[in-house]
Every structure is written in C-alpha cells, then in structure tokens.
Amino acid sequence: MAAKRKLGLPAQMGIGMVLGVIAGLAAPYINFDAQWFKPFGQLFINLVRMVVVPLVFTTLVAGAASVSDISRLGRVAVKTLLFFCICTMLGTAFGLLMGDLFHPGMGLTIPSENLASKDITPPTLGQVLMNIVPINPFDSMAKGNMLQIIFFAVLTGFSLSLCGERAIAVTTFFNGFAEVMIRMTTIVMLYAPVGVFALIAFTVASQGLGVLLPLVKLVGIMYLGCILLVLILYFPCLKYSGIGPKKFLKGFSEPLMTAFSTCSSAAALSSSLVSVEKMGASRSVSSFAIPLGNTINMDGTAIYMGVVTIFAAEIFGIPMPFDKQLSVVFMALLASVGTIGVPGSGMIMITMIFTQVGIPLEAVAIVAGVDRLLDMARTTVNVMGDAVAAIFVSKLENDIDPNRGAAMEE
Ligand code: ASP
C-alpha cells in the first residue's frame, strides 16, 4: 500500500483559504453568525504577534553580533534603505500610471453626502527621528515599537561584537535564543490553516459580494498593478540573486498567505524572517531588512496610494497634471513610512495625500467599502517587497547560500 503523503503547510493554508471563501459565502444562507469565525482568526493573529518581539530582537542581536566590521553594518543599512526608497517610489509611480491608463473612477457617480472621514496630521521628520531612540528599551518591547527595538538590538549586537571573547557567553545566549524563537515560529504556524480559514470566512461573510460590484474596476486595477509590479520589479531582482520565481513563491508561501488573510504585515513578520533565511538570505541582512521593511517599506500600499488617488480625483473631477502626480510620489513615500503593518492603516494614511492634492476626504469613505479586498493585495506585496530586499541585499553583499535552509531544518 502506498504511504500517504502529508500535505505541506502552504497547501493546508491554501485549502483553509478556499474553504474560508466557501464558508463565508454559505454563512448567510444557513443563518450562521459570522462572528463565530472571528475569535479563531484573532487567535492566529495573537499567536504570530506573540513571537514577533523576541524573534526580531534576538535574531537582530545575533545577526549584528556576527558582523565584526562596522563598515559592513553601515553598508547593509544604506543599501537596504536605498532599495526600500526606490521600490516605494516606483510602486506609487506605477499605481498612478495604472490609474492614468485604466481610469478606475471614470463613469462612477457615488453620492458623497453624509460621508465623512478623519484627517490626520503626519509626524514631522524631527519627531520620526527622535522616535527611533528608545528612552526605555523594555518599554519599547512591551509596546512592540519596532523601530526602537531595531535600534536597540543593532546597538546591542554591535557592542557584543566589540566585546569579543569577554562577552562570548552573552553572544552564545542570543544565538541560542534566536534558534528557539525560530523554532517557536514554526510551531505557531501550525495553527495557520485554521486561522486563515476563519479570517477569510469572516471577511467574505461580513463584506459580501454586493459591496464589491460598484468598485469592481478599482479592485481589478489594484490587483493587476500588484501582479505587474511583482513581475516587472521583484522577479528580476530575485533572478539576479539566484532565486527563481517558482522557488521564491514556494519558499515564501506561508508569509504571503498570512499577509493575504490577515491584512497585517506585522502578523507575517515572524514567518517572513524564517522563510527568507531558509531560502538562503544572510541572517545579518535579513534580521535587519525584514523587521525594518515591515515597519517602513510598503510597496503595496504605495501602489494603492497611486491607484486610489487617481480613482478619487476622477470621481470628484479633480485634474491631476504631471506635477501633482509627482508630488504624490514623494508624499506616498512619507505616507508609506508612516503606515503601520495592521489592517486598514494605509487607508488612514492616504488622507495625507488627499489633503495635499485637494481631494475631498469623503473619498476615503467611498473606498472603505472595498478596502479589505485592496488591503489583502497591498499587504501581500508589502511583505513580499521586504523579502525581495533582504535577498537582493544579501546577494549584493555576496552572502547568499541556498543550503542554509537545509541546515536550519536539522
Ligand atoms: N495592511 C497593510 C499592512 O499591514 C498596511 C496598509 O493598510 O496599507 O502592510
């Protein structure tokens, strides 16, 4: 008798997603209250968020401690940040181009009376910079303030490497702790298929398909834009790094499905970190690029900002000449840095851009109906963009090794 083959986790998550769609569609017909799905999905989000802070902190300390040369640390940081900026700006420009070409808002007349949305004030550059240095690193960890945790972890790792032999026990401790957190992430992900099922079922049941119909073109253009950006920008970068698209999609499917179903980059952070390393990215690069990118690099949100700005401008008949579109590219860079990896935060940050180019903020309320669907796409691209950066910078540093995965499985 042939031995039964066990389904891998990504396949189980895929099945969870399909069953989630079916359950979500069926729920209203059998009078099943969709609220029942909610706690099962939330449990998944809580589990993955539980491991994030210790995982990021320990892997980053261990990664930075293994770099004995400060100029390499600086080089990695500069290359990663440059890559983030370029991709985010390209993402917005691409979103605008998609909007210009396909006119998502043309012919759409949605009454905007009784719609309201809140304006937000972006933080100043000074505030952003001051926010990076924690006054109390334990408080930053308790609050999950990723930028402050990254800052403190890099400094700790670097100090450890300067101490050398004298602090070898502490370095070994962090190396071991990082391994433990990686293992814990793998354990937590075993619950992912159930979590994905519940999240998708809840979304489909509570949003319904009716909300989609008037805005179907916008959703279609957004998804097309995301797919094209992946094909035009990400895949060539991966190819250059020696990782083919197939290998990447297979090796990175867990974080992608987590991002798609939770709409939270933060929820996908731990499995991203583990997956890119398994694909061969360097620990010292990925432990820096993935958590940092998770907080500041949002290419999917950038595409969204481009497409939705054109959509809103068309609905309200506001002209968008080239110079205005160029200002959107720069504003979106700031807005996506300010976007945090939780559901819907891009929709709040887009008010910065609307205010800048004179689009009534009521546009946000119009998009809100389909924002969850747009969020699924943009979060997936956000998470993918960080992984591509980690792999690409590892390649630039000549520190990519496809056999790392096998070593980690042992
Ligand atoms: N939900 C997105 C993320 O977690 C952020 C956004 O709303 O654009 O990456």
* Nearest in space to 220 (alpha carbons), one of 365, 374, 371, 24: 374
Q: Which atom of ligand 1 is nearest to the CA of 263?
A: 1
Find out whether the beta carbon of 293 lies less than 6 Å from any atom of ligand 1: no
The number of the ligand 1 atom at minimal distance from the alpha carbon of 336 is 8
Which has the closest alpha carbon to 305: 234, 367, 372, 212?
367
User: Per-residue confidence of the chain (410 residues) as pLDDT tens digits?
Assistant: 444 557 778 788 889 888 998 999 899 899 888 899 989 988 988 888 888 889 889 988 988 888 777 788 889 989 999 999 999 999 999 999 999 999 988 876 554 444 444 455 555 667 767 888 999 999 999 988 877 888 899 899 989 988 989 999 999 999 999 889 888 988 988 998 998 899 889 888 887 766 666 688 999 999 999 999 999 999 999 999 999 999 999 999 999 999 999 999 989 999 999 999 999 999 889 988 999 898 889 999 999 999 999 999 998 888 899 989 999 999 898 888 878 788 888 888 888 788 888 888 878 877 877 888 899 999 999 999 999 999 999 999 998 887 776 666 65
* DSSP string for 294-351: HHH--HHHHHHHHHHHHHHHHHTT----HHHHHHHHHHHHHHHHH--SSTTHHHHHHH
Q: Which atom of ligand 1 is nearest to the CA of 379?
A: 9
301 ligand 1 Cβ < 6 A: yes
Atom of ligand 1 nearest to the CA of 383: 9
Q: Given ligand 1 and candidates 92, 258, 265, 351, which is best to mutate, with the most ligand atoms within 8 Å of its CB?
A: 265
- Closest by CA to 266, choosing from 147, 360, 395, 120, is 147
C-beta of 338 in contact with ligand 1 (< 6 A): no
DSSP state of 341: S
What predicted TM-score, i.e. pTM, was given to this entire model?
A: 0.81
223 Cα–ligand 1 center, Å: 15
Q: Is the CB of 258 under 6 A from ligand 1?
A: no
For residue 287 the two structure tokens come to: 């432990």
Encoded tokens for 76:
């990695």
In short, whether 306's Cβ falls inside 6 Å of ligand 1 is no
Output the CA 382–ligand 1 centroid distance in Å.
Answer: 7
CA distance 337 to 128: 10
* Contact status, residue 372 vs residue 203, Cβ threshold 8 Å: yes
- For the Cβ of 382 lying below 6 angstroms from any atom of ligand 1, the answer is yes
263 in contact with ligand 1, CB cutoff 6 A: yes
pLDDT digits (tens, 9 = 90+) for 307-357: 999 999 998 888 899 989 999 999 898 888 878 788 888 888 888 788 888
295 CB within 6 A, ligand 1 = no
In 3D space, the residue among 307, 333, 324 whose CA is nearest the CA of residue 358 turns out to be: 324
Q: How far apart are CA 141 and CA 224, in angstroms?
A: 38
DSSP 19-47: HHHHHHHHTTTTT--GGGGHHHHHHHHHH
